[in-house]
């Protein structure tokens, strides 16, 4: 079939280095991946197009880019699955990372995040003479996380990193989960404490983008939620994120709906002067726009049923 690739180009050495789109019309086979098509461009049409690729089998993690606005591993993405009705495909470098040239992103901020979680096993005590004994289910579960190929797709499309570059982000925190979940690692407490700091597990906004774009089914957001549970269980609840979670849960559990006034008070603490001043401004703006939540919080009629749901779920744990 004939397709048009719309590729965002960027040449840092040009006189006016600004990105621009370039159209390539080419014929592709039915089985072609977007990577096959890009390679065809590079080899037959325009040798100056820069991209990274190697394995062609979704394991080396080199070829993450944005296809039609979302991060994809292009060796895993068939052209016919992403071409629109006019047989066009848009290809851009990943988001949330600086661009080196064309489709090549600067991965340094990505690797820096991974390094920041102390991504290596920290056992204590003497090593056993043979292997550590471990349940196979645990190893298989960790294999699901270690399937991460560090391609950067989740970081590219993370909506929290977009507004705050300090967030460790999905890939690094999924990597962190792999150690906390590993029975051989003895640094769980210090890890959970570290991951509970600002920029850590509580900065995820649960938008699900990382789960959607991950080409390996790692589901980073689910791992971050797992870390949150473990952090609270380990007693690291003296932070905004954990308090927010607890206040949210309490409110729903007792009244069946969210007490929007109480939530920020419990999250930040009434005596947190700076936060309270900031909140009062938000409250004022809400009042001016007629969006103030009810002062007196009322329970919903079926609150007992909600309570029973909680009992059921919590009993199961």
Residues that bind another protein (CB under 8 A): 11-13, 31, 33, 42-44, 46-48, 50-62, 76, 78, 100-102, 104, 107, 111, 115, 119-121, 123, 127, 130-136, 139-140, 142-143, 146-147, 149-150, 182, 184-185
E strand or H helix that includes residue 274: helix 273-288
Nearest CA to 76 out of 97, 89, 60, 92 is that of 60
Residue recorded with tokens 């603490």: 269
User: What is the nearest approach in angstroms of another protein to the Cβ of residue 208?
Assistant: 21
User: What is the nearest approach in angstroms of another protein to the Cβ of residue 152?
Assistant: 11
Q: Which is nearer to another protein, 211 or 275 (CB)?
A: 211
User: What is the nearest approach in angstroms of another protein to the Cβ of residue 142?
Assistant: 5
User: What is the nearest approach in angstroms of another protein to the Cβ of residue 228?
Assistant: 23
Q: Which is nearer to another protein, 76 or 228 (CB)?
A: 76
User: What is the nearest approach in angstroms of another protein to the Cβ of residue 292?
Assistant: 50
Q: Which is nearer to another protein, 101 or 228 (CB)?
A: 101
Q: Which is nearer to another protein, 38 or 242 (CB)?
A: 38
Contact 3, 88 (CB under 8 A): yes
User: What is the nearest approach in angstroms of another protein to the Cβ of residue 184?
Assistant: 7
Contact 217, 226 (CB under 8 A): no
CA distances from 29 to 2, 46, 78, 85, 249 (A): 9, 19, 10, 17, 53
CA count, 13 A, side-chain hemisphere, 224: 26
3-class secondary structure, 130: coil
Q: How far apart are CA 153 and CA 151, in angstroms?
A: 6
Residues facing residue 92 across a β-bridge = 66
Q: Which is nearer to another protein, 9 or 264 (CB)?
A: 9
Q: How far apart are CA 10 and CA 21, in angstroms?
A: 9
3-class secondary structure, 25: strand
Q: Which is nearer to another protein, 148 or 210 (CB)?
A: 148
User: What is the nearest approach in angstroms of another protein to the Cβ of residue 14?
Assistant: 9
Q: How far apart are CA 123 and CA 8, in angstroms?
A: 46
The phi, psi pair for 104, rounded to 5°, reads -95, 115
User: What is the nearest approach in angstroms of another protein to the Cβ of residue 81?
Assistant: 10
Q: Which is nearer to another protein, 176 or 252 (CB)?
A: 176
Q: Which is nearer to another protein, 187 or 242 (CB)?
A: 187
Q: Where are the strands (E) in the chain, listed by range?
A: 2-9, 20-27, 64-67, 70-73, 88-92, 99-101, 104-105
């Amino acid at each position: 079939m004939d397709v048009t690739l719309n590729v965002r180009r960027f040449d840092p050495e040009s006189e006016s280095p600004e990105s621009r789109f370039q159209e390539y019309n080419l014929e592709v086979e039915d089985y072609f991946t977007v990577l096959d098509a890009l390679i065809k461009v590079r080899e037959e049409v325009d040798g100056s197009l820069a991209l990274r690729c190697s394995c062609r089998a979704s394991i080396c993690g080199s070829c993450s880019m944005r296809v039609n606005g979302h991060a994809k591993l292009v060796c895993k993405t068939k052209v016919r699955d992403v071409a629109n009705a006019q047989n066009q495909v848009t290809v851009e470098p990943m988001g949330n990372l600086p661009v080196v040239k064309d489709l090549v992103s600067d991965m340094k901020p990505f690797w820096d995040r991974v390094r920041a979680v102390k991504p290596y096993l920290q056992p204590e005590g003497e090593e056993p003479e043979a292997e550590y004994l471990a349940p196979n289910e645990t190893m298989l579960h960790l294999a699901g996380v270690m399937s991460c190929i560090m391609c950067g797709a989740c970081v590219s499309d993370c909506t929290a990193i977009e507004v705050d570059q300090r967030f460790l982000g999905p890939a690094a925190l999924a990597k962190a989960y792999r150690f906390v979940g590993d029975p051989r690692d003895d640094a769980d407490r210090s890890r959970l404490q570290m991951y509970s700091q600002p920029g850590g597990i509580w900065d995820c906004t649960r938008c699900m983008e990382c789960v959607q774009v991950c080409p390996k089914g790692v589901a980073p957001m689910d791992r971050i939620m797992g870390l949150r549970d473990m952090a609270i269980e380990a007693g690291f609840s003296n932070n905004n994120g954990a308090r927010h979670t607890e206040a949210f849960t309490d409110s729903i559990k007792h009244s069946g709906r969210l007490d929007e006034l109480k939530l920020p008070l419990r999250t930040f603490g009434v005596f947190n002067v700076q936060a309270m001043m900031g909140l009062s401004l938000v409250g004022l703006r809400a009042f001016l726009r007629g969006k103030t939540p009810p002062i007196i919080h009322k329970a919903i009629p079926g609150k007992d049923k909600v309570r029973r749901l909680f009992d059921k779920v919590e009993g199961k744990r």
